[in-house]
Amino acid sequence: MYQLTFSEQSLAEMDKLDINARLRMIEQLSSLTDQALNGNLPKIQRNGTSFFRVKIDSLRAYLEPRPDGQLFCHYILHQHTLSDFVFRSKLPVSEEQMVEQYSSFWKYVDSLRKK
């Protein structure tokens, strides 16, 4: 069993969820075992790091098992979004660029709603 930890981006996404979705997400992520990680979960290599992709409802969590027993959740992305596509496709985008593009895109969409 792993200790589950979250990045700032994944915590920000968790904060946007209602309490039931948040609990469902934490329950499914914290119940992952070595067998599940090495079994049927998609594995993505980026910059020398192995990430496992877990689908939970309309969200995608990208996790890295660490030697110290932690399961670090780097990203929580919505399905069918540019950010999820960029990450899955291994396009050359840094973490900072991805977060910046993601947040600036939503600021732009919000500005359109206000007009």
Residue 15, CB-side half-sphere exposure with 13 Å CA sphere:
7
Running DSSP on this structure, what letter comes out for residue 68? T
Domain ranges of the chain: 3-114
CATH architecture of 3-114: 2-Layer Sandwich (3.30)
For 44-66, the pLDDT digits (tens) are 887 788 888 898 888 999 999 88
Full-prediction pTM beyond 0.85? no
Residues 61-73, mean pLDDT to the nearest whole number: 89
What Cα–Cα distance (Å) separates residue 72 from each residue in 56, 67, 101? 16, 11, 22
